[in-house]
Amino acid sequence: MILDTALLSRMQFGFTISFHILFPAFSIGLAMFLAIMEGIWLKTQNPVYKSICLFWTKVFALTFGMGVVSGIVMEFQLGTNWAGFTKAIGGVLGPLFTWEVMTAFFIEAGFLGVMLFCWDKVSPRMHYFATLLVVGGTTLSAYWILTANTWMQHPVGFHIVDGIYKVDSWYDIIFNRAGFPRYFHMMLAAYITASFVIASVSGFYLLKGKFTEFAKKCFSFAWLALFILIPTQLFVGDATGLEVHNNQPIKTAAIEGVWDTQAGAPLLLFAIPDQKNQKNLFEIGIPYGASLINTHKLNGVLQGLKTVPPADQPKVAVVFFTFRIMVGIGILMLLLACAAMYLRYKNRLYDTRWFQKASIASAPLGFMALWCGWLTAEIGRQPWIVYNHIRTLDAASDVALRDVMISFGLIIIVYGIVFGVFYFYFLTKTIRHGPGELDEKDPHQPFLYMPSKHDEE
């Protein structure tokens, strides 16, 4: 493998987006959680629910800020490292990004101030309205971004004039049929990711015997949500797989390790793709499984990787294994959620130490599955930056390799400090401090954070 400007630019963009994608996903899930908790507080006036809102709003604010900063860096890279890409499709993706900022980001950013700082300055209903607008902003923002990415995966509604992509139908682009399952798949992934973090922090408090009323409600809600969300994600993931098979059959072939077009393709539980020799080594599979999953027919036909030149094939091993890691993590998630429901049924959810420890360890599972799914989708699209239209090599800027190396090195250093040190420092500090304790003399004042005896330990 020769390190050239295009490859290094891909590595740089992949590095930055790998950081970025985690923060918006966590923010989207937390925003929905906060809206639900605040709604329950308004309904019940139980001060514990307000303490939940106050605590997780701090985490949301920290995460939201990191997402904004990391997102700006990616936008600069489009201009500096991918000039061919922006020149060709700027008329398509430019308006989508503008609408994302105008209709979504401004909403969430504008009302975030009310959500964070105006608990005692506006009425409870007005504050809840602001929270709902933040949720709406994050949800709409995700839709615009997924719409842009879906167009790159399945371009529609355009014609080309002198290498420049002109829009024929914004309706076809905005309501791209391939985008709906991908969007819901991403949103569910965000909710699952946030739920595991909430379950992890709550499990930590239960294990330490700290903030137990707060922890019990968060713990119970998170695992109940996961028990519902994870099976739902399986169905949505199936719909996403069908769209990928219809629109990007070579990506499906890479996911399933299918080299020759065949009916009744087996589901490979394990194999080592040998791209050089265009075959798999050490196959272990279930007959007809891949065809059944991707076409819903036992003898469904899967197009083979060999139907396109090797230069038009993605890196099969990466796509093959990241997909299986994602599925494996999903199965582990489902088993944990089922264990939680069993413990709930036995009235042992809050006092089973092994499950509390397992919950603490489960915090990164959602992020890992999300990251592997993203790698599968994006590397599986290669060598195209716009599927079957613009090659990634043709989209790179004509800049010196040295310049990309310098900028990449600086990004690694800055990201390591800002996101790898500062974010986790303040996040850990917030978690260790906890939500505080309600004033025992007046339990109806959830605004007060009293020093906890555990803070001294």
Q: Which residues contact 46 (CB under 8 A, 6 or more apart)?
A: 40
The alpha-carbon radius of gyration of the chain (Å, integer) is 24
Which H helix or E strand runs over 377? helix 365-379
What pLDDT sits at residue 438?
47
Calpha distance 388→11 (Å, rounded): 21
State whether residue 235 is helix, strand or coil: helix
Amino acid residing at 170: W
What pLDDT sits at residue 1?
53
End-to-end CA distance of the chain: 54
Q: Which residues contact 236 (CB under 8 A, 6 or more apart)?
A: 181, 184, 185, 188
Calpha distance 121→57 (Å, rounded): 16
In degrees, rounded to 5, the angle at the alpha carbon of residue 385 between the alpha carbons of residues 400 and 174 is 130
Nearest to 396 by CA among 388, 404, 387: 404
- Indicate the burial class of 95 (C-beta count within 10 angstroms; 0-12, 13-18, 19 or more): middle
Q: Which residues of the chain have pLDDT under 50?
A: 438-457
What pLDDT sits at residue 3?
67
Do 92 and 167 meet the contact criterion of CB atoms below 8 Å apart? Answer: yes
Which H helix or E strand runs over 161? strand 158-161
pLDDT in tens, 272-293: 988 888 888 988 888 998 889 8
What pLDDT sits at residue 224?
94
Nearest to 438 by CA among 213, 216, 106: 213
Amino acid residing at 416: G
What pLDDT sits at residue 325?
93
Calpha distance 178→244 (Å, rounded): 8
User: In Å, how far from its chain's centre is CA 98?
Assistant: 21
Do 81 and 93 meet the contact criterion of CB atoms below 8 Å apart? Answer: no
Do 204 and 222 meet the contact criterion of CB atoms below 8 Å apart? Answer: no
What pLDDT sits at residue 442?
39
Tokens representing residue 375 in the block: 């790698």
pTM value is 0.87
What pLDDT sits at residue 320?
92
Tokens representing residue 31 in the block: 């925003």
